[in-house]
Structure 1
Amino acid sequence: MWSTYKEKLKLFSERFIEAQRSVVLLNAVRWEAKIIDDVKKSKYRELPKVDVSTYEKIPLGYDPVAKIAELAEIVNDMDRELGRDDALVNILRACCEEYQDLLRMLMVRGKPEFYDFSRKLYGSPQDHFFGSQTSVKDLGLHLYNILSKIPDNAGEDVKLKEVDAQSALENLNERFGRYFVGQDVKVVLDGEMVADAAATARTIKLRQSATFTRRDLDILEVHEGWVHMGTTINGLEQRIARWLHKGPPRVTATQEGLAVLMEIFSFVSFPRRARKINDRVLATAKAEDGANFLDVFEYFRTEGYEEEDCLMSAQRVFRGGDVRGRYPLTKDISYCKGFVENYNFIRACIQAGRSEIVPFLFVGKVNVADVPVLYQKYKEGIIDAPKFLPPFFKDLNSLI
């Protein structure tokens, strides 16, 4: 049966969404609570008991080899039906290929090859910014020298955690109700989670026993709401390119960098938060250079973090990798890397008199390099404009 280009592209989009379903990196590299408990019992003298066998006990819930083959078949069919020169096909092909690499990465959890895939998919602190001799690590060291001179509590109501979880739920539900008009977005309480908050596509979970500052709520609204949920919903609202609500590794830096940038644009961030994000970049660099889990833990502790924060931050660096060092998960460099890339993109658009392109950073979960293509396809009637935008992106004059 004859089909239009749009119908074919939509079909491949839906096939991709189905093929990558259930492929979640962080679920596959999570640590049981006992692992950290044992580190505490050793008084931080013994490395976490994590190796290849630890991850082999975490079921993926699917056959990764079959998933790789399914994604490869989508690419082959798409190239045959739509050609290899179509701009949107190129984006969707890149998503398929990255999920294949992500699946290969999950097949070597705990091995040195895990780091090879991590570096390929998420980058490394050693990577240089486009057109610059400055590496991500160089920027991290520069920011460290600046941020370490600013008092921890500067600009932050750190001692005023006066909002209980139920009150936070009611406050955020009211905010999101105003922002996501017509959408089933909600905040719920969770009695079992470890972190204070976590976001899914249309839901933010708050730990039932957690307390928050007013600034915490502002950050949750902007970072998790406006950016992470907003781009997911804008992607889901696409008539054709619904794959834009999914988050392959290639969009991680843009997403996380955009969230950090929005915190700054909306004046809700503060120095201690910036320092924590930057310290994770430097911790990843240390792990690449050979620091083990305990070395990284001590780095965070010497920087003045509470022990639980030190453990959680060190765990983030070594999930899926080797706790002895050299082979970390490099995902946490995304915040700083993406911040710079997004800022440079927005500045370039404004300088070129093309500020109308900038809101398409929110059209879905995108890589910043794809945004001009997506804007052009919007003009051609294939991509739908983002429905949910931060206030300062609705009036483009505020960006100039």
Structure 2
Amino acid sequence: MNVAASELQRYAELDRRLLGAARAINILPTVSWPASMEQRLIAAFAQGRYLLPQVRYQRPDLSAARAELAAVEREAAAVLPGDPLGDYLCRTAQSWRIAAEMLEAVGSAGVTAPSIALYGRPGDSIPGSHKSNLDAARYFVELSDELGADLLADDIATDLPAEQLRADLGRALDAFFGPGRIAVEVDPELTAKAAAGATRIRLRGGACFSEYDRHQLLAHEAFVHSLTALNGRAQPLLASLGRTSPRVTATQEGLAVFAELMSGAIDISRLKRISLRILAIDMALNGADFVEVYKYFAHCGQSPADSFHSAQRVYRGVPLTGGAAFAKDNVYLSGLLTVHTFFRWAFKQQRMDLLRNLFAGKLALHDVLSLQPHFEAGHLLPPRWLPPWMQHAHGLAGKLAFSLFINGIHMSQVQADELSLRL
């Protein structure tokens, strides 16, 4: 693709300005609850004392960041009209601007609309299907419940303390990425069980983990979230590819859950957990308060602590009285389904290059397609690291080829006696 050096330099300058403005926008820290407060409330809820938590938020003033992001949008569109690099910068700046508006409304129902604009809503349709994300969530919850009695024997002991897992993951990451490139830390204030950045993975202090958790953390956090961040940081033109912008969250989380699927690190219980969160967002949007959603998770079999943490994720940054929600957890299942469809489509089109480039930074699926001319021209670099399951192209091709064919078999038309006669 022919783009003058001066135009590429202009894009790089705008990208630096975008990152500078986005530095003030910290979504999860702004909407999260203090871990110390959660522990007190979990104990109360476990004893049946259900009171709506009183959460106070500090509203940031992000007017300067919003103004700069709006300027980046205008100027990026004018560099070379129609160029995908300008489109990427416009879309990314716009998503950060929407996030800023969301955070400036923290503590009010005004968080809901921008969070849905960024992360979608449960009723959104799944690409290539007449089903919605809500339909998919109900399906996996019902399937998990139907299989539950048969899967009890597969329960895995949760006996790995956070400190022990920290050391274990550290050794695995040093072996894969090189010594000291990614640190593993225990954080007592972390709300989620784990979180990953480019150079650090945090584990919640006091939590215990299973071997299954270890496998999942490597597949999801290390070999997707940290890996794509490191690959993005190595990009010479667009440094923003090293940071997860709001608009790429669905692809990045979907890719991370897809990685769990490809590496055998996901089970039906995990699918049930992420599906329940979508159903809970729908409940909150339709008027359920925090206590009702907590009781819903508890009724579905989660422990008091897990029920509280799950409900807390739905109500981050919004009133707890119902009618509002923080929609981020909508992306895990919808992202998984969309990424899975993208992998199958790319394989059918014989475009393995698109699948590899998906790991070149913090990209949305739209970016991988639109920016392909800039990958071919060398303006954007291919990924330095790929997850282990992506390094074995034949194994991946086998899984995708089987998936493509098997989708043509409609289970509603399968009869048990027909199967028995053929075997």
Whether these two folds match at TM > 0.5 is: yes
Q: RMSD of the TM alignment (CA)?
A: 2.2
- What is the aligned partner in structure 2 of residue 6 from structure 1? 8
Q: 1:34 aligns with which of 32, 37, 57?
A: 37
- Any residues of structure 2 matched to 1:184-203 within 5 Å, and which? 184-193=181-190, 195-203=192-200
- What is the aligned partner in structure 1 of residue 289 from structure 2? 292
Pair 193,370 (structure 1): closer, same or farther in 2 beyond 3 Å = closer
The SS at the match of 1:114 is helix
Q: 1:89 aligns with which of 69, 81, 86?
A: 86
- Any residues of structure 2 matched to 1:266-281 within 5 Å, and which? 266-281=263-278
Question: What percentage of aligned pairs have identical amino acids?
Answer: 30
The CA distance in 1 between the partners of 2:387 and 2:70, in whole Å, is: 37
The CA distance in 2 between the partners of 1:166 and 1:151, in whole Å, is: 31
The CA distance in 2 between the partners of 1:279 and 1:385, in whole Å, is: 36
- The alpha carbon displacement at 1:46 in A equals 2.3
The CA distance in 2 between the partners of 1:165 and 1:39, in whole Å, is: 20
Cα deviations across residues 99-132 of structure 1 (Å, max 9, x unaligned)? 1111111111232321111111110001112343
Give the unaligned 5+ runs of structure 1: none
- 2:332 is aligned with what amino acid? Y
The CA distance in 2 between the partners of 1:371 and 1:45, in whole Å, is: 47
Comparing 168-177 with 30-39, greater Cα deviation is found at 30-39
The SS at the match of 1:154 is helix
- What is the aligned partner in structure 1 of residue 234 from structure 2? 237
- Any residues of structure 2 matched to 1:100-139 within 5 Å, and which? 100-139=97-136
- The alpha carbon displacement at 1:24 in A equals 1.1
- What is the aligned partner in structure 1 of residue 70 from structure 2? 72
- What is the aligned partner in structure 2 of residue 170 from structure 1? 167
- 1:21 is aligned with what amino acid? R
The SS at the match of 2:136 is helix
- The alpha carbon displacement at 1:159 in A equals 4.7
Cα deviations across residues 170-220 of structure 1 (Å, max 9, x unaligned)? 221121112213762121233554544332321112345433222211111
Pair 251,97 (structure 1): closer, same or farther in 2 beyond 3 Å = same
Q: 1:351 aligns with which of 344, 348, 353?
A: 348
Equivalent pair of 2:283/2:293 in contact (CA under 8 Å): yes
Cα deviations across residues 19-62 of structure 1 (Å, max 9, x unaligned)? 10031111111223437735854734322224xxx22xx253xx
- 2:92 is aligned with what amino acid? C
The SS at the match of 1:389 is coil
Is 1:392 matched up with 2:377?
Answer: no
Q: 2:95 aligns with which of 70, 93, 98?
A: 98
- The alpha carbon displacement at 1:393 in A equals 1.5
Equivalent pair of 1:155/1:271 in contact (CA under 8 Å): no
- Any residues of structure 2 matched to 1:237-276 within 5 Å, and which? 237-276=234-273
Pair 141,366 (structure 1): closer, same or farther in 2 beyond 3 Å = same
- The alpha carbon displacement at 1:168 in A equals 1.7
Q: 1:22 aligns with which of 21, 24, 49?
A: 24
Pair 220,155 (structure 1): closer, same or farther in 2 beyond 3 Å = farther
Is 1:49 matched up with 2:47?
Answer: no
The CA distance in 2 between the partners of 1:301 and 1:171, in whole Å, is: 32
- Any residues of structure 2 matched to 1:360-375 within 5 Å, and which? 360-375=357-372
Comparing 188-197 with 223-232, greater Cα deviation is found at 188-197
Q: How many residues align?
A: 391
The CA distance in 2 between the partners of 1:84 and 1:183, in whole Å, is: 43
Q: Which segments of structure 1 move beyond 6 Å, counting only runs of 4 or more?
A: none
The CA distance in 2 between the partners of 1:101 and 1:25, in whole Å, is: 11
- 2:25 is aligned with what amino acid? V
Pair 71,137 (structure 1): closer, same or farther in 2 beyond 3 Å = same
Equivalent pair of 2:59/2:105 in contact (CA under 8 Å): no
Equivalent pair of 1:36/1:311 in contact (CA under 8 Å): no
The CA distance in 2 between the partners of 1:346 and 1:156, in whole Å, is: 33
